[in-house]
Amino acid sequence: MSLNKKTLCAVCAAVMLAFSGCSLGGESSTAEQEQQSAQTTEQQAEPVDAEVEEPDEDPMLAPERVVVTYLRAANAEFDRSMIKLMTDDYAAQYEYMKENMGHDDEYADEGSEQDFKYEFDHEKSGFIDEVNVEESYSKACEIYVTVTYGEDQEPTSQYIILILDDKDDSWKICFAGTKEQAYTEGLIKDERSDQAMAQAKTVYEAAEVAFAELSETDDYKFEYMNYISTENDEFVNRIKELLPSDLKASYFTVFLDGTKLDHIVWGESLGSDLMVTYPAE
Q: Look at residue 32 in the predicted model and tell me its pLDDT.
A: 56
CB 174 within 8 A of CB 187: yes
Helix (H, G, I), strand (E, B) or coil at 251: strand
Helix (H, G, I), strand (E, B) or coil at 266: strand
Handedness of CA 30, 36, 42, 47 (dihedral sign): negative
Residue predicted with more confidence, 158 or 113: 158
User: Is the pTM higher than 0.75?
Assistant: no
Q: How far apart are CA 42 and CA 215, in angstroms?
A: 93
Dihedral of the CA atoms 171, 172, 178, 179 (nearest 10)? -60
Name residue 264's beta-bridge partners: 254, 278
pLDDT tens by residue, 6-49? 444 443 444 333 444 433 344 445 555 555 555 554 545 444 44
Q: pLDDT-derived band of residue 115, with 50, 70 and 90 as boundaries?
A: confident
Q: Look at residue 156 in the predicted model and tell me its pLDDT.
A: 92
The HSE-up count of residue 15 (CA atoms within 13 Å, CB side) is 6
CB 85 within 8 A of CB 172: yes
Q: Where are the alpha helices (DSSP H) in 109-190?
A: 179-184
Q: Where are the alpha helices (DSSP H) in the chain?
A: 2-45, 61-73, 81-84, 88-100, 179-184, 191-215, 234-242
pLDDT tens by residue, 36-89? 555 554 545 444 444 455 556 899 999 999 999 999 887 766 677 888 899 999
